[in-house]
Structure 1
Amino acid sequence: MDNRTNLTEYVHTIVQSCLQAGVVDVVISPGSRSTPLAYAFSQTTAFNKYMQIDERSAGFLALGIAKAKQKPVALLCTSGTAAANYFPAIVEAYYARIPLIVLTADRPHELRGVGAPQAIDQIQLYGNHVKWSVDFPLADGHMETLPYIERHMGRAIATAKTAPMGPVHINVPFREPLLLDFDYEIKPSTYQHSIVGTIMASPSSVKLVEDAIVQSSKGLLIVGEISGEFSKDDFWAFAKSIQWPVIADPLSQLRSDIPEDCRHLLIDQYDAVLKSDHFKKAVHPDVVIRFGTQPVSKPLSLYLKAIRPDIYITVDEDPAYRDSLGTVTQHIHSAPQVFWNEIKNSQQNETLSIWTNANVIATKHIESYIHTQQDEGAYAGMLFQKLTTGSDLIASSSMPIRDVDTFFNQTTKDIGIYANRGTNGIDGVVSTAFGIQLARKRPATLLIGDISFLHDVNGLLVSRFHETDLTIVVMNNDGGGIFSYLPQSTEERYFETLFGTPTGLTFESIAKMYNAEYFHVDSKDSFNNALETTKQTDLRIIEVKTNRQENVLSHRSLWDAIIEELDGQWKS
């Protein structure tokens, strides 16, 4: 068998193994050494193929697709620093539990460590930030090579899909020549890949949670972002049966599409109400049960750390559970939905009405603020109210996700909410948003700050290769707005240089370069006009000019007004 046939069979074994294991999406960046795999993916019509020139952006594009679908996405690049540019997205995927199948092309073994061009040490390149890594053999035509490839592709993809999900790395060396036999008859993989199941709770752990619920009179449910697909109907049936207040992080997907008879249970203004000392004393929980990650809110984290509940149960699919506060008393290694289907008992909750009333008070202040103020929070609130059912919202880290936490009120609309909170970085957000929109095929809106937008301007390249439907709302306060809320802001001598980092840049020229529809917003009227104007192009950029100092003062005045009313209501 000649070398071209060996290479052709080799790469199609990789590609067909992906298909057989359910991987149907691949993000490809151009490069010479990855030519054989790029051809094989392109020749196989069953794949959804996405092109992105910039590998750093490509990594986040794949992450966004996998985040939206909760299924593995293949990611392919050439050798050298191209592979290194995947690192930020892989780190985010690892901590956010997103399944990526990272395929890095490499030089053959004889060109490693000898000064060959575009050759770096790619073995275990991503260290402990992938769940598994393997360096494949060359396409040598040996009778054991292709069965080895099939087995290890199956192992890699099963590992990526097994809870907690995450990225895996497959390093694939190629020796020149790199061209394929395009007349080769593609043979589907017949290898029986692993079947990944759900982690089930033991009867004793179900009884532990059931007993805690039955014995509690001041229980509190907390729901953060949950990995994998789950039924909101099952959750709300569970919450309705036990009648506990539900603190729902925006990434829990529970703030939208809420059944009418459960709306009193959902507490979406916990970030604001937990700034009131008197309110916090009135609702001191005896049992806390958390599903998913710890929510974004810092006041909630400080509250839990201060009260240290006697019983704090987390339910998580990873035995290495997430407890940055050091307050969890029992961890249950299980899929959360097991408990929603098993437990339907409770006694009267003494604090539900207190939580509900406080939430109503805070919501009243929030809605008034959106109507009367003109800062980033008010603009964000306007945006959320204008979102249509059947659309998605993506938020950058720093202030955007915090404004979502504060100003996205519960709604019966069907709106998905997404953010990169594995490591809370501001890089790759534009690309993640494109990935989510391309995967879900629904109109999407990205809320992002100017610095985060600049971090991933190359992400806009995707709009040149694929049909998209994305609106980007850039809150341009000329710098890092989140730092103005932190103690660093009190040191005026160095603050602007080290943290504020004003660039003086605006984004109309960037919009023009990508043929994006552009709006400059400096008032609520012009923002309303931009949001209500029928979209004319696949990509729209709305730049909202705001002031960092005014944003801080306005947010703090809102919180002070809420605290004052809550303290007056529950002053002991």
Structure 2
Amino acid sequence: MIYSKIPLAQTITTLCKTHNIKHIVISPGSRNAPLNIGFTHDDFFKCYSIVDERCAAFFALGIAQQLQEPVAVVCTSGSAVLNYYPAIAEAFYSNIPLVVLSADRPKHLVDIGDGQTIKQKNVFGEHVLYSANLKLDLKDSENVTSENELPIFKNLENKLERFLGLQKDIQTYNESEVHDALTISKLNLGPVHINIPFDEPLYETTEELFINPKPFKIQNKVDKVDPFEIKSLLDVWHSAKRKMILVGVLQPNSTEAQWIQEIADDDSIIVFTETTSNLHHQDFFPGIDKMIAPLDDTDLKALQPDVLLTFGGLIVSKKIKAFLRTYKPDQHWHVGLSRANDTFFCLEKHIKLRPNTFLASFLPQVTHHTKSTYKATWLAVRQKRRKLQDEYLKTIPFSDFSVFNSILKQIPKRSMLQVGNSSAIRYTQLFKIPKSVEVFCNRGTSGIDGSTSTAIGAAVANEKQTTFITGDLSFFYDSNALWNSYIPNNFRIIVINNEGGGIFRILPGNKNTENFDTYFETKHKLTAKQLCEMYGFEYSVASNSEELNEQLSDFNNATKQPKLLEIFTPSRSNDEILLNYFKFIK
């Protein structure tokens, strides 16, 4: 086995192994060489090399999204680490365990004009669950060759640092900090930052393991059910005639079928789900926007719940947020281990349990189903909406709306669907998706950056065929995602190219002006064809319904390289077709 000669580097790799962190995404650099040496010479680790740090972090996030286990990203010092920030923010708000290992200069080289040096300590602020700022090995401190050339105050600072380090035991301190960071990431499902100073020489190796970390107890999070809390909720639940369950982003198969059925059997409950909820039942209500958008004030008051129960991650639908902020429930309970967002400004309780644990504890104690017409009334409305949507699709020309209808019908069963943000996920919400398809989208920060990289990382960690649907701006913004040697041959990308940010045309404001085209919609004439040639994707194109149906007929067939289908839609009519849809189904 080959190790770095630097004890701190050995500490990092050894503790990552102890904590069973197998996937390591490395961006090439010099200052992180000691870490790269340790990770890449140990067969325990699965290492990936991705040059662009922003893409690397989202790629790692995609792997962690699928495995629900910490994945590490490793970079050199300086601005490299800042490129991780978008993915870290996404991981923070999506509860995805991501471990940032940033190499750094020694303290005495910060803010003296050295290259690739910034203030890396606590650089991610409140967007990480823990920041561990490690100490330079004492051995390395003693080998600083330039110390005699340092200003006197720096020399004194170094000597004081050594003295304090000796007192506190640098090795014990570093081991403890690394262990705490890795444990927090795993238990609380979120990003952590470990900043690691290295002094030169950086590339020396040895076959000897210098360090012997003290054993740590690796914890597992256990749900603790409070029977008194459960009992306090039952009286309210039993008396409520209108109960609404709203489900955000949820891992597939995280809720047992018996509890899903128990909920569905209660006529006083309606369950609103999103495509990212991965929760299905014939009596549930997907397509929230098409349910709510056409309602008038009388209908909205009739829909207003007495009790709102939420679980899962963040919600896509703006319309359900606006509705529940105006027509507030008497009680809002959120179930989940991490933070409870007061999205509707009426949060009453945060029940810190996994949703399935809560349902398994709560539902068996529900002694009766309250007599109510709540669900039956809205099931009838849902049926009308679906019929009107089918009728509307027969009347419209080739457009974003019709394209999403066509491509979502062709998604292979028992596959994974990754969706880009902005218009892509909002259109996807309007259509039915087979229950065997697992759906994911970066809804933590809802940014268009990194969606492609995340989808590729997820495809690497999941053997199922993956289809990624994205808009043109998001795709070109993250085009370095394709600079990646790990893309499976069964990976599929569908780019809806309407030559700009079409979603901005739906919003209020003056349109069809040069100012709007340039600074809001951002018109362009780019295509994905040259990128596909560069990165080895099979490329196909469609600009009308006939071409689209022809391309979709064999798009999911097995090939020896990944595929990309670019669909060109008319930029000036998509907004009108979508807005008219909501009028039509009313």
Q: TM-score, normalised by structure 2?
A: 0.88
Kindly provide the amino acid, as one letter, of the partner of residue 340 in structure 2: Y
- 1:393 matched to 2:417: yes
Structure 1 residue 120: Cα displacement = 1.2
Give the equivalent residue in structure 2 for 1:148: 173
Residues 398 and 426 of structure 1 are in contact (CA less than 8 Å); yes or no, is this contact kept in structure 2? Answer: yes
Alpha carbons of 1:95 and 1:5: their partners in 2 closer, same or farther (altered >3 Å)? closer
Give the equivalent residue in structure 1 for 2:114: 116
Alpha carbons of 1:187 and 1:177: their partners in 2 closer, same or farther (altered >3 Å)? closer
Give the equivalent residue in structure 2 for 1:546: 569
- 1:531 matched to 2:552: yes
Alpha carbons of 1:151 and 1:348: their partners in 2 closer, same or farther (altered >3 Å)? same
Kindly provide the amino acid, as one letter, of the partner of residue 331 in structure 2: I
Structure 1 residue 492: Cα displacement = 4.1
- 1:267 matched to 2:285: yes
Count residues in correspondence. 548
Alpha carbons of 1:489 and 1:447: their partners in 2 closer, same or farther (altered >3 Å)? farther
Write the mapping of 1:68-147 to structure 2, written as runs, cut at 5 A.
68-141=66-139, 144-147=169-172
Residues 468 and 492 of structure 2 are in contact (CA less than 8 Å); yes or no, is this contact kept in structure 1? Answer: yes
Q: List per-residue Cα deviations over 1:323-377 (Å, max 9, x = no partner).
A: 2331323333332222210223232332111221222222223344456642112
Give the equivalent residue in structure 2 for 1:316: 336
Residues 376 and 475 of structure 1 are in contact (CA less than 8 Å); yes or no, is this contact kept in structure 2? Answer: yes
Match of 2:389, SS? helix
Give the equivalent residue in structure 1 for 2:154: none
Structure 1 residue 211: Cα displacement = 2.3
Alpha carbons of 1:468 and 1:52: their partners in 2 closer, same or farther (altered >3 Å)? farther
Alpha carbons of 1:489 and 1:292: their partners in 2 closer, same or farther (altered >3 Å)? farther
Could you tell me how far apart the structure 2 residues matched to 1:379 and 1:72 are?
A: 37
Match of 1:536, SS? coil
Could you tell me how far apart the structure 2 residues matched to 1:222 and 1:468 are?
A: 36
- 1:426 matched to 2:448: yes
Moved more, 436-445 or 10-19: 10-19
Kindly provide the amino acid, as one letter, of the partner of residue 339 in structure 1: F
Alpha carbons of 1:6 and 1:496: their partners in 2 closer, same or farther (altered >3 Å)? closer
Residues 506 and 579 of structure 2 are in contact (CA less than 8 Å); yes or no, is this contact kept in structure 1? Answer: no
Kindly provide the amino acid, as one letter, of the partner of residue 429 in structure 1: S
Kindly provide the amino acid, as one letter, of the partner of residue 231 in structure 1: T
Moved more, 108-117 or 358-367: 358-367
Could you tell me how far apart the structure 1 residues matched to 2:345 and 2:541 are?
A: 46
Write the mapping of 1:153-302 to structure 2, written as runs, cut at 5 A.
153-163=178-188, 165-184=189-208, 191-226=215-250, 230-233=254-257, 235-243=259-267, 244-254=269-279, 258=280, 262-264=281-283, 266-275=284-293, 276-277=295-296, 279-302=299-322
Give the equivalent residue in structure 2 for 1:567: none
Alpha carbons of 1:331 and 1:489: their partners in 2 closer, same or farther (altered >3 Å)? farther
Structure 1 residue 5: Cα displacement = 7.9
Kindly provide the amino acid, as one letter, of the partner of residue 285 in structure 2: I
Match of 2:15, SS? helix
Structure 1 residue 269: Cα displacement = 2.6
Could you tell me how far apart the structure 2 residues matched to 1:337 and 1:386 are?
A: 31
- 1:501 matched to 2:533: no
Residues 395 and 446 of structure 1 are in contact (CA less than 8 Å); yes or no, is this contact kept in structure 2? Answer: yes
Give the equivalent residue in structure 2 for 1:328: 347
Give the equivalent residue in structure 2 for 1:359: 382
Could you tell me how far apart the structure 2 residues matched to 1:485 and 1:333 are?
A: 38
Alpha carbons of 1:209 and 1:549: their partners in 2 closer, same or farther (altered >3 Å)? farther
Q: List per-residue Cα deviations over 1:513-537 (Å, max 9, x = no partner).
A: 1111111111222222222212424
Identity %: 30
Could you tell me how far apart the structure 1 residues matched to 2:481 and 2:212 are?
A: 34
Could you tell me how far apart the structure 2 residues matched to 1:186 and 1:47 are?
A: 20
Q: List per-residue Cα deviations over 1:457-500 (Å, max 9, x = no partner).
A: 001011x3454532111111111111111113458463212101
Match of 2:138, SS? coil
Could you tell me how far apart the structure 2 residues matched to 1:397 and 1:537 are?
A: 29
Match of 2:44, SS? coil
Structure 1 residue 13: Cα displacement = 2.3
Could you tell me how far apart the structure 1 residues matched to 2:224 and 2:138 are?
A: 43
Computing the radius of gyration from Cα coordinates, the structure with the larger value is 2
Q: List per-residue Cα deviations over 1:108-155 (Å, max 9, x = no partner).
A: 222211111111111111111111112212233499444333322210
Could you list the runs of 5+ residues in structure 2 that have no partner in the other structure? 140-164
Could you tell me how far apart the structure 2 residues matched to 1:68 and 1:6 are?
A: 31
Residues 155 and 193 of structure 1 are in contact (CA less than 8 Å); yes or no, is this contact kept in structure 2? Answer: no
- 1:375 matched to 2:396: no
Could you tell me how far apart the structure 1 residues matched to 2:46 and 2:39 are?
A: 9
Could you tell me how far apart the structure 2 residues matched to 1:546 and 1:315 are?
A: 41
Give the equivalent residue in structure 2 for 1:339: 358
Write the mapping of 1:353-502 to structure 2, written as runs, cut at 5 A.
353-370=376-393, 373=396, 374-407=398-431, 409=432, 411-412=434-435, 414-462=436-484, 464-490=485-511, 492=513, 494-502=515-523
Residues 3 and 41 of structure 2 are in contact (CA less than 8 Å); yes or no, is this contact kept in structure 1? Answer: no
Structure 1 residue 309: Cα displacement = 1.3
Structure 1 residue 559: Cα displacement = 1.4
Residues 53 and 83 of structure 2 are in contact (CA less than 8 Å); yes or no, is this contact kept in structure 1? Answer: yes
Kindly provide the amino acid, as one letter, of the partner of residue 312 in structure 1: H
Could you list the runs of 5+ residues in structure 1 that have no partner in the other structure? 564-572
Write the mapping of 1:511-522 to structure 2, written as runs, cut at 5 A.
511-522=532-543
Residues 314 and 328 of structure 1 are in contact (CA less than 8 Å); yes or no, is this contact kept in structure 2? Answer: yes
Moved more, 343-352 or 494-503: 343-352
Moved more, 90-99 or 228-237: 228-237
Alpha carbons of 1:294 and 1:476: their partners in 2 closer, same or farther (altered >3 Å)? same
Give the equivalent residue in structure 2 for 1:568: none
CA RMSD, Structure 1 to Structure 2 (Å): 2.4
